[in-house]
Amino acid sequence: MASQNHEPLQTVDDVHSRPSGLDDSTVEALGELSKALETIHRVRGHLYSAHQLVGGADLTLDRVVELLRQAGHDEVADRVERELLGRNVLPGRWTFQIMEEFDDGYYAAFQEVERYARETLAGGRRHIYEAEMKERRRTHGMPGHEATPQE
């Protein structure tokens, strides 16, 4: 099925309008790529949450060891201190190292490829698919359906 070429649809603003000659399939592909990148942003947030949770748990172990020693459970305290306190979560890595590798590797590459696709195919414009969807779905003149904050 051949992809359609639409004349640029008036959208919420010029920054989000479809460049002349850009076909539906390309707009949809860029929308899907943007959606995938948004998912990776969420993954990054979850990884940072894990980083902070693991760090907090590790710091809590100081209190665990202290309380176990106060209660006379030195053998258990020794094991917690020896085997858990400061332990790598992956071989040779604390969570900050995992975050740095993710940020500098996969995350950076994903952002760069998405940016490259937008610049190459749509003049760098973002969210064309969503802007057109907004225009199709909003009720003109209805409060809460304005195209921009200035409308």
Instruction: Of 8-12, 39-43, 128-132, give the lowest mean pLDDT range.
Output: 8-12
Question: Is 104's pLDDT higher than 60?
Answer: yes
Show the CA angle centred on residue 32, arms to residues 30 and 36, nearest 5°.
115
- CA–CA gap between residue 57 and residue 131 (Å, rounded): 43
pLDDT in tens, 21-32: 899 999 999 999
